[in-house]
Amino acid sequence: MIKQIAFALVLVVACGKKSGDQAGDKAAPAKPAVTIDAAAANALVPAALKDKIVFEKRTIKIKRGRDDVSYTLAAPKTWKQQGEMFASLKADDAGGFFSKMDINPNCGTSFKDSECKPKDWEKVADTATFAPHVTANETIVKDEKAKGRRTMISSETSNTKITRVSVAWWNDGDSKYHICSADLDETIKDAAPAFAKACEAVAIDGDD
């Protein structure tokens, strides 16, 4: 009887431990801290557009799966979120009809490669996010690569003449990477550097 009680106590103690408490287990690496600086984005808005685009620190909350996710970043004050399931902001009249801003996670380059697990995110982002903008119909204005991040600004030379801002970032060992993008109407295209600055600092709360 005493042996049975002792064995039961061992099971309770063992089951009460999380996997990270076991000897030899490694704790998940801490995510880098993100500083949201709306003033820095506002400083890059051209004088002629300062009455149309004003960035503020904003938190965009969405419902994705069973848990809520929120993205905090510098974003235009007057742009409206398009539904609670998407981190998408649509411009007001001052921002132009085609202008919008989106934040999304991505796990691969195609449906066959869609499993969310650690990958070479620089290579995946190059194929899935940036290569589609390297075409005869778009002029690359900026293409900056840094460790764990890439920023591109491209300008469409035909049709709607939208200027696109694309920022992708990742951490080694992550199961996905993220993209913050902005489509800018021709009337506010000169604010592209400000949107790039805003997209380069996004804090994520929750598992998206």
Would you state the pLDDT for residue 9? Answer: 34
Per residue in 160-171, pLDDT tens? 889 999 999 999
The set of residues, in sequence order, having a beta carbon less than 8 Å from that of 110 and lying 6+ positions away, is none
Ordered DSSP codes for 175-193: S-EEEEEEEE-GGGGGGHH
Residue extents of the structural domains in the chain: 34-205
Strands (E), the chain: 55-64, 67-76, 80-81, 88-90, 100-106, 138-146, 149-156, 163-169, 177-184, 203-205
Read off the pTM. 0.83
Select the CATH number that applies to the domain covering 34-205 from these four: 3.30.70.20, 3.40.50.720, 3.10.450.40, 3.40.1000.10.
3.40.1000.10
Mean pLDDT of the chain: 86
Per residue in 78-123, pLDDT tens? 999 999 999 999 999 999 999 999 999 999 998 888 899 999 999 9
For 135, phi and psi rounded to 5 degrees?
A: -135, 175
First to last CA, the chain: 49
Q: What is the largest CA-CA distance in the chain?
A: 84
